[in-house]
């Protein structure tokens, strides 16, 4: 069995049920963290394996997700979120959604204050390495994601 992530009649991703369920559960986590809807929901009542993507809502979610990821200064948060963010970026690109990769520290920050700063040590976000890693990971994910 597998799941389907569709826009209209086009399937953007057809993961196994295990990978699909994990992604859907992570969507819920990041919707709460970002306080943004993802635009991904069940296509038909009673069909848990087919999800519809609203491209307008998902575009805002994907862009917010990348901005959130790029502005964190916490290595553990980066490690925990990189795979999900890369998968969401790959899915957005498949949908024709342009997701701008912002340099670390750039982008909207609530109240102009960084949160979750890592203590102790120097966060690994001191360079564009986070951005490069995310873009590379998203490209890898796209190659691994079946349609």
**Cβ neighbours, 10 Å, residue 1:** 7
pLDDT for residue 121:
54
What is the 3-state composition of the chain as percent helix, strand, coil, each rounded to the nearest 5? 50, 10, 35
pLDDT digits (tens, 9 = 90+) for 100-147: 876 555 544 443 444 565 555 554 444 577 788 888 999 999 999 888
pLDDT of 79 above 80? yes
C-alpha to C-alpha distance for 43 and 52, rounded to whole angstroms: 5
pLDDT of 65 above 70? yes
3-state SS class at 133 = helix
């Amino acid at each position: 069995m597998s799941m389907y992530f569709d826009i209209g009649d086009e399937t953007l991703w057809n993961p196994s049920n295990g990978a699909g369920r994990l992604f859907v559960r992570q969507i819920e986590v990041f919707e709460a963290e970002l306080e943004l809807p993802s635009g991904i929901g069940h296509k038909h009542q009673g069909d848990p394996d087919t999800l519809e993507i609203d491209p307008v809502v998902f575009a805002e979610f994907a862009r917010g997700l990348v901005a959130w990821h790029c502005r964190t200064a916490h290595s553990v948060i980066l490690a925990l979120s990189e795979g999900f963010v890369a998968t969401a970026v790959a899915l957005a690109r498949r949908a024709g959604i342009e997701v701008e990769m912002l340099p670390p520290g750039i982008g909207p920050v609530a109240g102009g204050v960084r949160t979750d700063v890592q203590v102790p040590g120097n966060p690994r976000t001191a360079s564009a390495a986070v951005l490069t890693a995310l873009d590379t990971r998203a490209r890898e994910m796209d190659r691994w994601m079946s349609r």
